[in-house]
Amino acid sequence: MVQLQSKLVDGFGRIGRKLRISITDRCNMRCVYCMPNSNTEWIEQNNILTYDEIVKLATILARLGIEKIRVTGGEPLVRPKVEDLIKTLSNIDEIKAISMTTNGLLLRDKVMQLRDAGLSSINVSLDTFKEDRFKAITGIRGLNKVMNAIRVADDAGLKIKINTVIMRGWNDDEIADFARFARFTGYTVRFIEFMPLDGSGIWEPNLVVTKNETINRISKVVKDLVRVDNNNSSEPATLYSFVDGIGTL
């Protein structure tokens, strides 16, 4: 019998605490920075992990130190009965929190089921507050559905973060609007760099808006930002707050 190590430790001595599980490659949007409109070859359904297999894997990793699970996709809510998976994962003794990344399109009708199953937080992908621009970026009309879903999730007590991919000439003129949104709502807004992973092949270096440019725009138009020390070196993002302490980016 092979003896497993007691914890998942990397070369820097950091213990793995978080697990991301992609439960589907399918999505009901066609965002220009992510998925092409045509020639998409989906993974055969019999080749993806079943819910039972996901739970088995998560249980093993929880015994090795995993405490938090994020369910992702594709769009996780297009997979049937995802709330059943959330409930089973939440029953694993070592798991302290379960979150989900979603585009929000199908979220409203699932909010209560997901919360009652054990979901504690969501990251909603939202790149614009303008309906026509929303369609240009995502390929569909659905901004109102997403905004309504965010409000319902908030009312249900879920912790909310907003993921915003900034692309020059597409939505960079809304950077300040998203900063104000963070201040007004209390949601953390996460600005994500446009990376050359787009299936549509539109990426160019000049479309990338840098962190420094983003900070300078917000500081000039909204209010000065200060870096927040979150005392967690495993976090992939750098947190900033406004000098008055209202709003997190």
Domains and CATH numbers, the chain: 18-36+49-178 (3.20.20.70)
Task: At 187, list the tokens.
Answer: 């949601």
Res 38: pLDDT:
66
Highest mean pLDDT among 33-47, 204-218, 225-239 belongs to 204-218
Task: At 40, list the tokens.
Answer: 């998409």
User: d(Cα 56, Cα 64) in Å, to the nearest integer?
Assistant: 13
Res 2: pLDDT:
42
pLDDT tens, position by position, 85-97:
999 999 999 999 9
User: d(Cα 181, Cα 199) in Å, to the nearest integer?
Assistant: 29
- 67 class by beta-carbon count within 10 Å (0-12 exposed, 13-18 middle, 19+ buried): middle
Is-cis flag, bond preceding 11, omega within 30?
Answer: no
Beta-sheet strands, E only, within the chain? 18-22, 68-72, 97-102, 121-125, 159-166, 188-193, 225-228, 239-242
pLDDT tens, position by position, 93-110:
999 999 999 999 999 999
pTM, 2 dp: 0.91
Three-class secondary structure of residue 146 per DSSP: helix
At position 232, the amino acid (one-letter code) is: N
